[in-house]
Amino acid sequence: MSFKAAAIQMCSGVDPVKNAADMTRLVRDAASKGAIYVQTPEMTGAVQKDRPGLRAVLRDEPNDIIVKTASELAKELGIHLHIGSTAIALDDGKIANRGFLFGPDGKLINRYDKIHMFDVDLDNGESWRESAVYRPGSEARIASLPFAELGFSICYDVRFPQLFRAQAVAGAEVMTVPAAFTKQTGEAHWEILLRARAIENGMFVIAAAQAGKHEDGRETFGHSMIIDPWGKVLASAGGTGEAVVIAEIDIAAVKSAHDKIPNLKNAREFSLEKIATPAAGGVAA
């Protein structure tokens, strides 16, 4: 089965109300071009590195404007709308970096909390400690949609191939990677990682990204893209500003890739032993 998919590229600011309006405009554009699955980037609702500022605009899930708007939009347009993620206030004072998938009836099909926290120190002086603010998820899920088996990840998750492999083995045909990659890491690794995850698992990858200079001062890499199971980039955006990236997804290509390179079937269990080298002048046992 084939279907048209869209990755929405945004440059979200600090105001969830404005971001919801921008999202609505871009999703409408994607639907008008025939997309029946539409994905938005990580942190669609607010890109805000100031923690008090972020907490000031946070809401719990039932009262979040992005969640409400997405449910209404999906129903109005008759599409599957995937909010890559938005920040959700939790009862314990932490925040969830949570993705949502809504069906054409506006009902929630799946939620996914980002599992791997971006705790890094980069060469350019950027330092990030997501674990200080966000509560990591612990569950991977696959949504069985009428047109594809859809797997979930968010941004930094792409660096953990075991998450993708587990979902591929369980039958995922399309993996989603909504993101807000930093400019430095994006230039070095974004496309390489996405294509690698597609190739090694024989699956489509759809990655909607944040792009450009944001109100909070950070800069994200953009280059939203859709990749086929052979690693070919079907469609992509530039590195700044909004974009609607659309491609035709032919699910038959997944089986074709698995038939050509059946590495999922050929995988074998193995043991691992670390061999100690003898000290200088010693004799190995």
Token digits for 281? 């002048």
Close Cβ partners of 48 (under 8 Å, ≥ 6 residues apart) = 14, 54, 57, 215, 216
Is 284 part of any domain? Answer: no
C-alpha to C-alpha distances, 131 to 47, 114, 128, 138, 164, nearest whole angstrom: 17, 11, 9, 13, 22
Domain annotation covers residue 142: no
Q: Which residues are catalytic?
A: 42, 114, 155
- 237: pLDDT confidence band, cut at 50, 70 and 90? very high
- Residue 277: band (very low, low, confident or very high) from pLDDT cuts 50, 70, 90: confident
Please report, for the domain that includes residue 80, its CATH number. 3.60.110.10
For residue 188, give its domain range.
Answer: 1-114+154-263
Please give the Cα distance from 199 to 203 (Å, whole number).
7
In a domain, 216, yes or no: yes
Task: Report if residue 39 sits inside a domain.
Answer: yes
Residue 282 in domain: no
**What is the residue-wise DSSP string for 132-166?**
GTBPPP----EEE-SS-EEEE--GGGGG-HHHHHH
Domain-located, residue 120: no
pLDDT in tens, 95-147: 999 999 999 999 999 999 999 987 667 676 666 678 788 999 999 999 999 99
Apex CA 121: angle with CA 115 and CA 122, to 5°? 110
Q: What is the pTM of this model?
A: 0.94
Tell me if 64 is assigned to some domain. yes
Distance CA 282, CA 102 (A): 65
Evaluate whether residue 18 is within a structural domain. Answer: yes
Q: How many domains does the chain have?
A: 1
